[in-house]
Amino acid sequence: AIKLVKMWYFKNVENERLEKERLKAELEVLKGQLNPHFMFNTLNSIYALALKKSDYTPEAIIKLSQLMRYVLTDCNATAIDLSKEIQVLNDYIALEKNRFGDRLEITVNIQGAINDKMIAPLLLLPFVENSFKHGTSEVIEQPWISMDLRVSDDTLNFKLINAKAKSDVTPIRSPSVGLSNVKKRLALLYPQGYNLSLTEDEDTYIASLMLQLGNIKSPTA
């Protein structure tokens, strides 16, 4: 009986170790797919500014270098400061605002205590990327995006709403690699701590995320 108990115990320990290694490997693969996708979109934004010979191009390049530093260094951790993630969102939005100019109307509302909070890196950015990708199409007469981020205690509520083309217009859409990956990362890192809702109607697309910041699952825990 003692021998069987020992075998059962060591088998459980080995299974837990293999599960942690699997989780870590899957997260690394997802990060590897997400980061180049993010850089590609940002470079496209700067390229558009350069074509217009915008005076903002040098500042945009500086912002890109800051974003690259964030991706290559800070994002190696399982969790980073929420304030850093929000700064990345603001930098990316600034790049896109200067790309589209007065044609785009965007509102950003951030409320609550964001300091001393942790979040998985690059978790929110794919939603913002997706809003710009599909909410600023040339077929939309008056493109607009609304971002609302609220932190209460240890709960983050994040909502993005953007305009979309009328139903009689069918622009070609490529699959959103970033958005697909963030769904997988949410399931791996916050299995019991998130609620994601993606809805749309004739005029708008809405992404709504509720996240329990303290419920992150570490692959090495």
pLDDT of residue 24: 63
Q: What whole-number distance in Å separates Cα of residue 213 and Cα of residue 109?
A: 19
123 close to 185: Cβ distance less than 8 angstroms: yes
pLDDT of residue 142: 79
Tens-digit pLDDT string for the chain (221 aa):
677 777 777 777 666 665 666 666 565 655 655 556 667 777 887 888 888 888 888 888 888 787 777 777 777 777 889 998 898 899 888 888 877 777 788 999 999 988 889 998 888 988 988 888 777 765 567 788 999 999 998 999 999 999 887 655 444 444 455 677 788 888 888 988 999 999 988 888 899 999 999 888 766 55
Global pTM value: 0.75
Apex 190 CA angle, 13 and 207, nearest 5: 160
pLDDT of residue 15: 64
pLDDT of residue 117: 92
Burial, 132: exposed, middle or buried (Cβ in 10 Å; 0-12, 13-18, 19+)? buried
